[in-house]
Structure 1
Amino acid sequence: MAKLEEAVRPALPDQRGEGVFVGRVWRPDVDGPSIVVVRGADLLDISAAYPTMRELCEALDPANAVRHAEGERIGAVDDVLANTPPDTRDRSRPWLLAPIDLQAIKAAGVTFAVSMIERVIEERARGNPDAAAAIRKTVQSLVGNDLQRLKPGSDQAEALKQVLIREGAWSQYLEVGIGPDAEIFTKSQPLSSVGTGMDAGL
């Protein structure tokens, strides 16, 4: 097993004073979880203002809210990190929890347009190489031979969308590749995330 320092040091950047960092900690003295903020080398409990991470994240300006929140010091960041791995934990002292609580875990991304369009073309052509070639020719007449240069949300992408609709080859699946918005999708359910230094069952 890697040394603890090697495992948890990446949890915070060296320039930790330049950002706003929040998390959740289990506090044995209150027998429950608390929302904490990193202030210098310390962790401050700001649960009096924000009892859950969900409430903090849904504030109008979460970063500004955290900057102005008063809190109770519960320990040094390094000490709480060091007490987090289950096999060496002192259960009388605080340890880190996964930072997300009552929200589903989301991710955002854009799928490459090239692979998406090829997939839709193949599905539309149903294995007919002549039909696939005809659809590709139509696509190339709009965006050229290099689909890599297609910019999602551009006028060119919108024109391609209209052609694919006309050809009966459009799919909502393509919207996240050539449309203006990133795909937002659920990665996991509330309270299912695993925090720094924790065991994960596979």
Structure 2
Amino acid sequence: MTKAGDFSRGTFVGRVWRPDVQGPAVVALRDGKLYDITSGAAPTMRDLLEADDPAAIVRAAGGEDLGALDAVLEASVEGAGNVSRLHLLAPCDLQAVKACGVTFARSMIERVIEEKAAGDPALAEKMRTRVTAIIGDSLRDLKAGSEAAAKVKAALIEEGVWSQYLEVGIGPDAEVFTKAPVLAAVGWGASVGLHPVSRWNNPEPEVVLAVDSAGRVKGATIGNDVNLRDVEGRSALLLGKAKDNNASAAIGPFIRLFDETYSIEDVRKADLDLLIEGEDGFVLKGRSTMREISRDPLDLVSQTIGRHHQYPDGFMLFMGTLFAPVEDRDAPGQGFTHKMGDRVTISNAELGALVNTVRLSTECPPWTFGVSALMRNLSSRGLL
């Protein structure tokens, strides 16, 4: 479980837990080694991303050699909460963790099915047949908020299958919600958590943008927007319970900063591969591609930040997924759901691979290191 990707090209930054200072450090990845740049570049990832050219700052910073990445990865397996070992953390810190939903046509259809089936996977299979017969792939090339999208909306209302998910999927306003509190996201190797009430759930492989307080995108990384399909399917008003639980947001392994080797254009054409490996021998492979997103990444950013809403410490933005698992894992017609111990790997050639193990949120290490702990720690180290 040590694979994290090929980082030979590009500017990669992240965060690690340092047991010797009992706190986090901002690190740069160079030639297979991690360097602590907290003193030379920025005390927090937020401060680094606020710079006009963070990649240039990282290249100019020296840093303390913390050792080989492979060794840190070994220590990061189930490393969340293990304060006695050097391990990877989520690469963000003071940023808000936001997410956009229903941004792809295929997953949009699945959200409609979830709603109509009210969290019942058996009923979902019947609904899938009916809804796809009506909608088909006609939404795939629609531009959200366009005149053509308005006509499709009218037709669906006539058919009696209009849904709040289709509203945010092809209407003018994107769905933007808070995925996790500040500092609550977990990183590479950590457990990801499912609320114990859920019986129907799945990973959501997504590209995550790193955005500064002015709304400028400074880089990108990988995220797992862990989702409870049955909880959200019962009611959209349960979105908070479906999305935000202990260890339910995974981000990493690193943020790839925009520089001469990587830009928003690379994000627009990014492909994500998903691999789920169960302790029962079950294997599921999937893929999501940003090429089919119905809203441009910069449109999602502008719908998140602006005069209507400010983020003085910036934000991380999950951009949704094309992946919607319908393969049966157990009984026919029941579709996919996680089992404890599933290993989830989300990978992209330019961003690396995010690897996590599925547990119950109640069994994942509790989140205890919040903003006040970070401020006290940085102050005690003379970094503030």
Q: TM-score, normalised by structure 1?
A: 0.61
Partner SS state of residue 21, structure 1? strand
Tell me if structure 1 keeps the 8 A contact 2:2–2:70.
Answer: no
Q: What amino acid is the match of 1:148?
A: L
1:57-92 residue CA offsets vs partner (Å, 9 max, x unmatched): 3333444443333322111111111222358x793x
1:73-116 residue CA offsets vs partner (Å, 9 max, x unmatched): 111111111222358x793x522223222223223340438749
Q: Deviation of residue 180 (structure 1)?
A: 6.3
Verify the 8 A CA contact 1:41 1:76 in the aligned structure 2.
yes
Distance of 2:98 and 2:20 partners within structure 1: 32
Return the structure number with greater strand share: 2
Residue of structure 1 equivalent to 2:51: 59
Q: Residue 8 of structure 1 contacts residue 196 of structure 1 at CA under 8 Å; is this kept in 2? A: no
1:1-202 residue pairs with structure 2 within 5 A?
7-9=1-3, 11=4, 13-14=5-6, 16-48=7-39, 49-85=41-77, 91=84, 94-109=86-101, 110-112=103-105, 115=109, 147-153=138-144, 154-157=146-149, 174=166, 176-179=168-171, 183-200=175-192, 202=360
1:10-48 CA distance string (max 9 Å, x none): x2x22x121222211122233321010101111011112
8 Å contact 1:150–1:157 — kept in the other structure?
A: no
**Bigger Rg over Cα:** 1
Structure 1 stretches of 4+ with a deviation exceeding 6 A read none
Paired letter, 1:103: Q
Tell me, in whole angstroms, the C-alpha distance in 1 between the residues paired with 2:50 and 2:164. 29
Q: Which residue of 2 aligns with 1:132?
A: none
Higher helix share: 1
CA 65–157 in structure 1, closer or farther in 2 if over 3 Å, else same: farther
Q: How many residues align?
A: 166
Shift of 1:187: 1.7
Instruction: State percent identity of aligned pairs.
Output: 50
Gaps of 5+ in 2: 117-133, 193-358, 361-384
